[in-house]
Amino acid sequence: MPIDARWRLRPVTGLDAAVASLFLILSLCTTPPTFAAETIERPSKWIGRVAASDAAFGWPGSGFALRFEGTSLYVTLIDNGQNSLEIELDGVPQGLDLQAGQHRYQLADGLQRGVHNVRATRRTEGWVGDTTFVSAETDGSFLPAEASAEEMVAIGDSITAGYGVEGVGPGCKFTPGTENQYLTYAAVAARSLGMELTTLAVSGIGLSRARKGTKTMLDVIDNGTLLRGGAPGLPDERVSTVVINLGTNDFSDGKNPDDFGGEYAKLLSRLRYQFPKAYLYAALGPMMPQKDFDTAEKAIKAVVQTSVAKGESRLRYLNLRVKPKDFGCNWHPSRSTQATMADLLEQAIKADRGRHG
């Protein structure tokens, strides 16, 4: 099903439950097959960075995967009513707008009995509020979700979070409903390459400064969710690719921060420790005037060149300053621009795979 042809899933109301109960009674009056039913309080697989001990997920693109054998699936979630999820049922995506409070959502019903896979990931970013997983139910049984062989990490600002990508043009103001991490360059490239993706992105953030508040990416990069603390990441050899797209907020408005290079070097050092086998892409673009872009690009290239001179062999600069055909909200990349960026990232990854094996 194409992404444009979306429908909205909805929570199960009291009337829905009554109708479902009546349907069940009528079904039992005929020749009802009997199946086991199962409820779980944690998914077998979390997607992206989550606060697993609290069953909370807040980073854009974070969520959970469920694999079950049955015909129906319900999940119970807690939310503030401003977030939305991308639900992929057997590979078909559709949107789910969450309601305030604790609600039970029907994600699948009337399926052919067999094994089915569901992925639920946040379209919205962390400052909108965390979402909590309470339980999942099926009329059959749950199976372990399939593990991914290769993983990508994307670190960035509003561009990587998907700010305004669903908007109708540069004049529209941001709302959570126009944000969609699923359509970002990193998400599109990861799906095309068969990689699982972890997105650590916050609108307005930089390495030397942020548009709102005082926290920078190095302040929050280890958090379980943007709103919850965390612990420093341990080495993870499953991650093969890390793309960094920071600098837009640092160098905007003609700024040229003196500490940007040092902070970028700290980030690269931390990422190399945490992802010892990953290829690192120091990316930039596309949302900057040419003068600001040139200044930021020069600073990032200098850090990359210094690292390479010290022996770093899996790091390179990646120019993502594509020419947009249209825009999302507040001049942010549209779907088409994000798709073009995804092509550039995918081509770079394939080329470096060929060189390094």
β partners of residue 143: 67
Distance CA 178, CA 102 (A): 23
Output the pLDDT for position 29: 34
Q: Where does 30-178 have alpha helices with state H?
A: 158-161
Cβ atoms < 10 Å from Cβ of 238 = 14
Output the pLDDT for position 20: 38
Output the pLDDT for position 28: 36
Output the pLDDT for position 357: 54
Cβ atoms < 10 Å from Cβ of 157 = 23
pLDDT 10s per residue in the chain (357 long)?
333 333 455 454 443 443 333 333 333 333 344 456 999 999 999 999 999 999 999 999 999 999 999 999 999 999 999 999 999 999 999 999 999 999 999 999 999 999 999 999 999 999 999 999 999 999 999 999 998 889 999 999 999 999 999 999 999 999 999 999 999 999 999 999 999 999 999 999 999 987 777 799 999 999 999 999 999 899 999 999 999 999 999 998 899 999 999 999 999 999 999 999 999 999 999 999 999 999 999 999 999 999 999 999 999 999 999 999 899 999 999 999 999 999 999 999 999 987 765
Q: Where does the chain have alpha helices with state H?
A: 14-29, 158-161, 185-193, 217-220, 260-274, 290-309, 335-356
The answer to whether 221 touches 49, Cβ cutoff 8 Å, is no
Output the pLDDT for position 19: 34
CA dihedral for 187, 300, 174, 221, sign (positive or negative): positive
- Say which residue the tokens 């690192």 belong to: 280
Distance CA 8, CA 30 (A): 32
Output the pLDDT for position 356: 62
Q: How many residues are present in the chain? A: 357
Strand 114-122 versus strand 56-57 pairing type: unpaired
Token pair of 199, please? 């997105």
Question: Which residue from 203, 200, 205, 188 is spatially nearest to 330, judged by alpha carbons?
Answer: 203
Token pair of 243, please? 């793309």
Strand 45-47 versus strand 279-284 pairing type: unpaired
Looking at residue 9, its amino acid is: L
The answer to whether 107 touches 89, Cβ cutoff 8 Å, is yes
Looking at residue 145, its amino acid is: A
Output the pLDDT for position 35: 52
